Structure 1
Amino acid sequence: FKTEFMKYFSKDYLAFFKELAANNHKEWFDLNRKRYETVVREPFKIFISDLINEVSKLDEEVQIEAKDAIFRINRDIRFSKDKTPYKINNSAIISKMGRKDKSYPGLYIELSPEHLAIFGGIYMADTQQIQKIRLHILKYPDQFRKIITNKDFVNKYGEIRGTKNKRIPKEFRLAAEEQALIMNKQWYYQAFLSPKIITGNDLMEKILEYHIQALPFQKFLINALQN
């Protein structure tokens, strides 16, 4: 990796989202659209392009462009009680598939005035994917346990999270007594860091530091899905 990374975001980047939170409607956004494009959209696009470049050095399968990774600022309000039209953060997923397949394990980041958030794992698995991951845990229990109890991983992310099934197929019940995570239907990890990092010089370095510690778990999930 580079020994020094650039500063990507000015203080106005976070200020924009703070003001948007208080004025979350189209009229305000239209009045501030040029500002959004200059201090938010373009710097975030440059940052994500550079982050993809760094992540691809660790995983050559990641060959996407920034536009494939970045989520829109517009909220999908069709099924939501909250009808505010805009997200008050920037987010992107960096993986082989990018945002076209959010179930594929990768590096998900969210930048907001509240936090720098780093997520990974699998959050939106379908029935077949859940079965594949459970079978992989069943087949490699020691490897799985070693990865999730690794000191550096635990220091960064704590534990593997996710909702569980109350009942699971018979072939997993005995293993579930030893490894409760086999009952999960999601397997994800998360870290919330200070938003001050976003406007500092070590944003890229910090995200990569966290991402590197998550790679063994990410690779375990990818191997499971490819079986």
Structure 2
Amino acid sequence: MTFTGFPDEGLVFYEGLEADNSKTYWSRSRSVYEDCVRAPVQALVDELAGEFGPARLFRPHRDVRFSNDRTPYKTHQGAVAHQEGRGAGAWYVQISAEGLRVAGGAWRLESDQVERYRRAVADDVQGPRLRTEVDRLAGAGWTVEGDRLTRVPKGYDVDDARADLLRHRSLHAGRLFPFAEWLHTREALEHVRSAWRELADLNAWLADNVGATTREVRRR
């Protein structure tokens, strides 16, 4: 399937789901989700796979086991792409009634990855490399986020110009493209491609310095 844009029906579907997040609404609108949301997202990431790696679409159901919010369905469709053999660092895309969200980086690091990340941030070569890239992304309008400690971990210089980076336990950058007519066209593919390319240096740093975990990770 060739990506031709996100149909308006898919965005309207999510507006309805935000108002009525119920099994009844979902069952009644399931075909709209499949044809106007999931299929276009799959087509989009399939076309980008040659450059950014294969992608996995997230399931539409929420995991409510540990949440006070019992609504059963996500109000967005996301997908994450990885380049094989590069370990940490991924690309993300999400469509919702809000618009198109793109992101990249590492959302979850295991303890061995966190340790390698901190050593690299403290390094006099790799640390400034990351500092430059994070500052560049922030200056270009990206929001840089991630799980972080309230203090710099023990053993690291709290006066370091990279102290804020040392507090991170994960690191990713994202931006939202609000609704625009180009979402309904193939132009959306080029927006995602261009945005993901902007994140290439961040993901390269994570791949070079953090890599894959050596721990056995249980599937969630």
Matched residue SS, 2:157: helix
CA separation in 1, counterparts of 2:161 and 2:94?
34
Instruction: Tell me by how many angstroms 1:189 deviates.
Output: 1.1
Instruction: Tell me by how many angstroms 1:169 deviates.
Output: 2.6
Structure 1: state its 5+ residue gaps.
57-61, 98-102
Instruction: Tell me by how many angstroms 1:95 deviates.
Output: 0.8
Does 1:87 find its partner at 2:74?
A: yes
Aligned partner of 1:14 among 2, 11, 14:
11
CA separation in 2, counterparts of 1:163 and 1:141?
17
**C-alpha distance 202-157 of structure 1, shift in aligned 2 (>3 A):** same
Instruction: Tell me by how many angstroms 1:155 deviates.
Output: 0.8
Does 1:223 find its partner at 2:220?
A: no
8 Å CA contact 1:164–1:186 kept in 2: the answer is no
**C-alpha distance 182-166 of structure 1, shift in aligned 2 (>3 A):** same
Does 1:157 find its partner at 2:142?
A: yes
Q: What's the CA shift string for 1:125-168, capped at 9, x where partnerless?
A: 12211110111122223322332233x66314154554234241
**C-alpha distance 7-132 of structure 1, shift in aligned 2 (>3 A):** same
Aligned partner of 1:115 among 78, 99, 104:
99
Matched residue SS, 2:140: helix
Does 1:148 find its partner at 2:134?
A: yes
Instruction: Tell me by how many angstroms 1:122 deviates.
Output: 1.6
Does 1:29 find its partner at 2:23?
A: no
Instruction: Tell me by how many angstroms 1:113 deviates.
Output: 0.8
CA separation in 1, counterparts of 2:197 and 2:174?
14
Does 1:42 find its partner at 2:28?
A: no
Structure with bigger strand share is 2
Structure 2: state its 5+ residue gaps.
213-220
Matched residue SS, 2:160: helix
Deviates more, 1:33-42 or 1:16-25: 33-42
CA separation in 1, counterparts of 2:138 and 2:150?
25
Size of the alignment, in residue pairs?
A: 205
Q: Which amino acid aligns with 1:40?
A: V
**C-alpha distance 22-160 of structure 1, shift in aligned 2 (>3 A):** closer
Q: Which amino acid aligns with 2:76?
A: N
Q: What's the CA shift string for 1:74-95, capped at 9, x where partnerless?
A: 1111111111111111101111
Q: Which amino acid aligns with 1:182?
A: L
CA separation in 2, counterparts of 1:226 and 1:112?
31
Q: What's the CA shift string for 1:169-227, capped at 9, x where partnerless?
A: 31x226x5221212222222111111224323311111121111111111101111239
CA separation in 2, counterparts of 1:10 and 1:37?
12
Q: What's the CA shift string for 1:95-142, capped at 9, x where partnerless?
A: 136xxxxx8311111111113111221221122111101111222233
Q: Which amino acid aligns with 1:34?
A: S
Q: In the alignment, what sits opposite 1:206?
A: 191
**C-alpha distance 81-162 of structure 1, shift in aligned 2 (>3 A):** closer
Give the aligned CA root-mean-square deviation in angstroms: 2.4
Normalised TM-score (structure 1): 0.80
Q: Which amino acid aligns with 1:211?
A: W
Structure with bigger helix share is 1
Q: Which amino acid aligns with 1:88?
A: T
Q: How does 1:174-189 map to 2 (within 5 A)?
A: 177-180=160-163, 181-189=165-173
**Stretches of 4+ aligned residues off by more than 3 angstroms:** 158-162
**C-alpha distance 167-41 of structure 1, shift in aligned 2 (>3 A):** closer
Percent sequence identity is 20
